[in-house]
Amino acid sequence: MKAIFRVVQLNFQLEWSERRSYFSILIYVLSTVYLSNLVFNEILSPESWNAFFWVIFLFAAVQAAYRSFYFEADQRFLLYYGWVKPEHLILGKIIYNFFYLLAVALFTSGFFGFLMGFPIASPGAFITVLTLASLGFSSILTLVAAISAKAGNNPALPAILSIPLLYPQILTLSKLSIRSLTGFSWEINAQLLIVLALLALVSLLLSFLLFPYLWRD
């Protein structure tokens, strides 16, 4: 437990020392949201709001998580190898990415709402969906980032590898979030929420189980 926390802490310190990666995500979100505002020069229907939001968040998330193992592929990897077990490393990275993606999601929805209006009928439901999304995304994207770092940092690889894997989640998510925009009933949507939570859990478990095989060299 302590080791996992240590990984999260160290990861944050190292990323903070190179703040430009945070800024690049920030600018990415700002410019894409503004672009969709320019292109869609009118009030968005909740359906288009939903579609735009998830596409922007998806690509921001892929960008953000892509850097997870950017350094480990060569130098920092040696540093970790001595004292961190791969199981702890992957959990730490997933936890770190979970908070990171959640922050990106909240920021994106905030700025998106600022420009395009907030047609959200049930904010509680929307934030629940965002949290589950961040958890599922971070489990898959962290593992994919590890794979693509090992495959030699080909910049197109993370998107190619992760987006098909994310489809089941995105489909469930967008269905749920459109309901949170138009009016949400917890009883009716409990089933979909459980599916989403299970999807996130399965991805987490798979990443946890498969990562050690990836990491030994």
Partner 1 sequence: MKGIWWKALGIILVLYSIIAGLLGEVPRLVILNETIRVLYYHVPMWFSMVAMMTISLVFSIRALGEKRGADLRASEFAQTGFLLATLGLLTGMVWARFTWGNFWTNDPKLNGTAVTMLIYLAYFVLRNSVEDPAKKARLAAVYNIFAFVMMIVFIGILPRMTDSLHPGNGGNPGFNQYDLNSDMRPIFYAAVLGWILIGTWISSLRIRYKSLSNEEHS
Q: For 131, phi and psi rounded to 5 degrees? A: -65, -45
State the residues that interact with partner 1 by CB under 8 A.
140, 143, 147, 150-152, 154, 157, 160-161, 163-165, 167-168, 171-172, 191-192, 195, 199, 202, 206, 210, 213-214
Check if the beta carbon of residue 199 is closer than 8 Å to that of residue 91. no
- CB count within 10 Å of CB 57 equals 25
| Nearest distance, CB of residue 107 and partner 1, angstroms | 28
d(CA 190, CA 138): 23
Using the minimum distance from each CB to partner 1, give the nearer residue, 121 or 195: 195
| Nearest distance, CB of residue 70 and partner 1, angstroms | 17
Using the minimum distance from each CB to partner 1, give the nearer residue, 25 or 149: 149
Burial of 149 (0-12, 13-18, 19+ CB in 10 A): buried
Check if the beta carbon of residue 136 is closer than 8 Å to that of residue 207. no
| Nearest distance, CB of residue 209 and partner 1, angstroms | 9
Identity of residue 5? F
| Nearest distance, CB of residue 125 and partner 1, angstroms | 18
DSSP state of 44: P
Using the minimum distance from each CB to partner 1, give the nearer residue, 64 or 176: 176
Using the minimum distance from each CB to partner 1, give the nearer residue, 109 or 177: 177
